[in-house]
Amino acid sequence: MKLPTYTVLRGKELEDFLKAGIEIKKDEVISHLTEYDGHDLFPKWLMFIRCIEEFINIRYVISADEWMAFEKCSIDIRENKRDLMGILKIVQCRFGNDVLERIKSIIIMLLGLRLTYQKMRLPGMECKTIADAVNFIQSRRLYYVAYLTLIRLYAKGSKKAQFIELLCHFQSQVDFNIMPITTAFHSIIGNRCIDGYEARANNWGVEFCMHYNQLENFFLEPLTMSEIDIIEYEHKNISTTNIPKNLYSYAELLYTVKQAETLFKGYGIDESLVLQEIRQMVLDLDGQFIDGYSICMTEDIFKDFCMKYPHLRLFSEAQDYYEAINERPAFFQNESNYYSTVLLIIRYVENTIYGLLRKNRRYRIKAGFLFEKRVKALLEKYGYECTNVKRIHKQEFDVLCRQGDCIYNFQCKNNYLDINNLTIANIDKVCGQNKRLVKYYQNALDKENFRTKWVIEKFGVEKVENYVVARFPIVMNHKRLIAFNKLEEWLKGEKKE
């Protein structure tokens, strides 16, 4: 793509440039994929998804000490053969030769990709250790899964790729086309919502004056109130003794539904037709999984299967690039068959349940209280002395804490916003939502500034710092409005000062 002759882009010129770039990069992804034989590529890509899921989740089924040793290993076996082979031997003994070979395949793929990027002097592939590799894969997992739909839509050619070379064939499309499309959408929002937003052209493309990131630890999307929040701060849980210590199992799928029913009881989903159908679907899948992991149904069988659950949208109906990137289905079609895995169905169930919960007012209120506890716990980790003061002059405060001679006042906001589900068609709507939340948070901050005198009176201090912390990051540039996924970084900066 040819850059404009000027180096600084702003306003309409920047938005026009970004929109044109989005379309060009989208067309490049599609054009690249049309060269490949979808019949050959789909089963290989489905196996690749299994490999990366095992690679990402291995940390949860080995001991903490084993993982600490594994994550430090170089992905280049020549550098630490003894340590890496020792851990892989543990994997082999515990999970068998097939899992071992899949884990080794991913390591070989990533090493080959790193060497290819280095040879071509391409940026973005700095994987040296297993931990680096896991983070690299996890941060791109949603795009890899989306390729299962993109293959159905566009892979109509004759080119074939060897399984071990898949990343060398497709990773550059993810890194230099698909991910930049997401960045470009975020930049359009920044351009519309932030005064003075600009971008500068350089040899590789465009550098933006700020970067937006919605993901939290382990590259997970934020949730209004997750099961982890309830387990950690409400001390509720259900027994996991019946779940085998495997990388995945049907028992884990059953547990996912049971835990959601237990932890979210009373939030309006108990008698939901959607949840009833999820329960029945999970029961009907018993015995259907091949090797405890994958499932395949012919078109006729799958249609009959879907008719039993009219309130569930189980399979990918995407008809274009944007729909393929943004959807999270349970099943993917390839020719006349439908495919899924235990983990894809687990994530579908979780996403569907959280979608139901967001509509419940009691859930949103409870989520606000637990979010305050999560913010408080993070502040205490960094040495802030959190008080139990929740009211001053009959006015509510979220988190008041002390450090030195200063009181820090944090207002915790848990307003849902999904900025990752973006298309050219809905960009105006998302920008409007972002602007409303920015204004709402600024008004909340103004309110706290007005109430500062009460805090000074209550604690007998001279200095009060007011902040708003947002669980769902919005596109903004305000030092007093902090995204929760940036709070720890902010706290580390405060400690240095």
The three-state secondary structure class of 468 is strand
Q: How far is residue 477's CA from residue 421's CA, in Å, rounded to a whole number? A: 21
Q: How far is residue 133's CA from residue 172's CA, in Å, rounded to a whole number? A: 16
Distances (CA, A) of 401 to 93, 235, 452, 487: 50, 24, 14, 15
Distances (CA, A) of 170 to 83, 134, 147, 153: 30, 18, 10, 16
CB 286 within 8 A of CB 250: yes
Q: What pLDDT is attached to residue 496?
A: 47
Q: What pLDDT is attached to residue 383?
A: 93
The CA radius of gyration of the chain, in Å to the nearest whole number, is 24
**Nearest-5° angle of CA 229, CA 230, CA 234?**
120
Q: What pLDDT is attached to residue 244?
A: 56
CB 141 within 8 A of CB 48: no
Taking each continuous run of H as one helix and of E as one strand, the counts in the chain are 19, 13
CB 466 within 8 A of CB 452: yes
What is residue 60's DSSP assignment? G
Three-state SS string across 118-162, please?
HHHCCCCCCCCEHHHHHHHHHCCHHHHHHHHHHHHHHCECCECCC
Nearest residue to 56 via CA among 46, 77, 71, 45: 71
Nearest residue to 21 via CA among 178, 213, 151: 178
CB 454 within 8 A of CB 395: yes
DSSP per residue over 364-398, as a string? HHHHHHHHHHHHHHHHHHTT-EE----EETTEE-S
- DSSP E strands, 152-280: 198-202, 205-208
Neighbours of 135 (CB within 10 A): 16
Q: What pLDDT is attached to residue 292?
A: 87
Nearest residue to 58 via CA among 100, 105, 111, 86: 100
Q: In sequence order, what are the beta bridge partners of 98?
A: none
Nearest residue to 46 via CA among 362, 265, 379, 290: 290
Per-residue pLDDT of the chain (497 residues; tens, 9 = 90+): 555 555 788 899 999 999 999 999 999 999 999 999 999 999 999 999 999 999 999 988 888 898 898 989 888 877 777 778 888 888 899 889 999 999 999 999 999 988 888 888 777 677 889 999 999 999 999 999 999 999 999 999 999 999 999 999 999 999 999 999 999 999 999 999 999 999 887 666 778 888 888 777 655 778 888 888 888 888 776 665 555 566 788 988 999 999 898 889 888 888 899 999 999 999 999 989 998 899 999 999 999 999 999 999 999 889 999 999 999 999 999 999 999 999 999 999 999 999 999 999 999 999 999 999 999 999 999 999 999 999 999 999 999 999 999 999 999 999 998 877 778 888 999 999 999 999 999 999 999 999 999 999 999 999 999 999 999 999 988 899 999 999 999 998 865 44
Q: How far is residue 37's CA from residue 304's CA, in Å, rounded to a whole number? A: 29
Distances (CA, A) of 91 to 60, 100, 149: 12, 6, 31
Per the listing, tokens 């108990």 go with 270
Q: What pLDDT is attached to residue 201?
A: 74
Q: How far is residue 399's CA from residue 379's CA, in Å, rounded to a whole number? A: 10
What is residue 313's DSSP assignment? -
Written as one letter, the residue type at 492 is K
